A = this chain, B = another copy of it.
Amino acid sequence: MNDGAGNAYRSVAVVGAGVIGVSWTALFLGHGLRVTVNDPRPDVEDVVRAGLDEIAPTMRELGLPIAGAAARTEALRFEPRLAAAVAGADVVQENGPELLGVKQELWAVIEEAAPPHALLLSSSSGIPATAMAEHMREPERLLIGHSFNPPHLVPLVEIVPGRHTDPAVVERAGRFYRGLGKRPQVLTKEIPGFVANRLQAALFREAIYLVTEGVVTEQELDDIVTASIGMRWAAAGPFRTFHLGGGPGGLPAFFRHLGRALEEWWGQSGTPHLDGPTVALLNEQAQHFGGSVEELAAERDAAQIAVMRALGEIPGPAREEENERFR
């Protein structure tokens, strides 16, 4: 893969092969990159191959079939020794446990073993690059490349540089992710949870309040969201939505007319906590979504792919002849 600015990418090391690591692996393979997976668990190869099999139909839909690549040993390798895994990598995408000490140890090893040109990217959803790079010799090389889950499907990647990250590296990371068809967004400040997770956490807290108050069930709340906010925010984000909600006067008119109502709702927002009874109630209702997790996930992915296709995020329907090659 070439990023259009003279940087060629052939080989990625995926460090940590949980759900996120497997998803990144699928995305990289789908774009013709070689992937070396590093994970200490003894059954890593079985786990990753099973995960890739599960993702394969979605990748076909996205026009990025991986079945062939995953079968070729030169495209997908497993290497339990971290230093050896990253030795030939153009990119390291790290998805280790969310523990500061563990991350710091991983990056100290990676920094020594990876080639000097390698892009060093962490999937961390909460630990800032500045903290993670504290024991690195060259902290300017490290940054966060955090996908909204799962990376093989959702376009967003939040790029969060640390205090010492080199702006040129930030630029390169953006080009790399764009080359994979993603929509990276650089955050200007390190903030816990970054932007997307903080936003969904804020809405989810009010959602939990409304369910625990008995205003609606989880299923009803989900139906309300898909029939309103969801399809709206797929088309235009919250600021643009309220800007247009203000009519010809835009956002200023919106605040004049509805600012007071907003403040009022904020004042009455719920502040539930995830204590035992709350979690028990929420878990109980989730039993009634009408399908296994696998069935519901397949349903959601199909719907999301249809939405992405409608928005021009991915090309038209996968062609049969293309898919045939990998069946």
Contacts and interface: CB of A to CB of B under 8 A. Distances in A.
A224 to B, nearest CB: 5
A71 interface: no
Given A126-B261, A189-B215, A222-B239, A283 B307 contact: no
A293 B244 contact: yes
A222 B238 contact: yes
A102 interface: no
Contacts of A19: 247
A191 B207 CA distance: 13
Interface of A: 19, 125-126, 148-149, 154-156, 158, 183, 185, 187-189, 191-193, 195-207, 210-211, 213-216, 218-252, 255, 259, 261-266, 268-269, 271, 273-274, 279, 282-283, 285-286, 289, 293-294, 296-297, 299-301, 303-304, 306-311, 313
A266 B201 contact: yes
A237 B224 contact: yes
A200 to B, nearest CB: 5
A174 B223 CA distance: 15
Contacts of A237: 221-226, 230
Looking at chain A's contact residues, is the secondary structure mostly helix, strand, loop, or mixed? helix
A201 B258 CA distance: 11
A18 to B, nearest CB: 9
A268 B192 contact: yes
A251 B282 contact: yes
A239 B207 contact: yes
B154 A231 contact: yes
A1 B233 CA distance: 31
A240 B286 CA distance: 8
B233 A226 contact: yes
B188 A216 contact: yes
B199 A214 contact: no
A43 to B, nearest CB: 16
A149 to B, nearest CB: 6
